[in-house]
Amino acid sequence: MAGAREFIGVAREEIGYQEGFSDGHWDNDNKFGRWYGMNEEAWCGMFVSWAADRSGNGDIVPRYAWCPAGVEWFQDRGRWSAYPAVGSVVFFGPGGGSHTGICIAYTDDEITTIEGNTNDSGSAEGDGVYLKTRPRKSSYIYGYGIPDFPEGAVVADPDWRGRPGVVHFGEQADESDIPAGGDTSSRPADREENRDGGTPESGDSSRQVVIDGLAYGPGSSGDHITRLGETLVRAGCGAYKEGPGPEWTEADTESMRRYQQKIGDTGADADGIPGPRQLARLTAEYGRARTVTVREGDTLSSIAAANDVPLSELTAANPQIGDPDTITPGETVTLP
259-310, pLDDT tens digit by residue?
999 998 888 788 899 988 888 888 888 876 678 889 888 888 899 888 878 8
Residues 6+ apart with CB under 8 A from 207: 193, 194, 196, 198, 217, 218, 273
- DSSP three-state, residue 96: helix
- DSSP three-state, residue 320: coil
Average pLDDT in the 35-59 region?
95
DSSP letter at 272 equals: S
Percent composition of the chain: helix, strand, coil (DSSP 3-state, to 5)? 30, 20, 50
Euclidean distance between CA atoms 243 and 109, whole angstroms: 41
Per the CB < 8 A criterion, the answer to whether 186 and 167 are in contact is no
Residues 6+ apart with CB under 8 A from 266: none
- The dihedral through the CA atoms of 302, 306, 307, 311 has a sign that is positive
- Nearest residue to 325 via CA among 307, 303, 293: 303
Q: Which pLDDT tens digit goes with each residue over 152-207?
A: 899 999 999 888 888 888 888 998 888 875 433 333 333 333 333 333 333 455 67
- pLDDT score for 208: 80
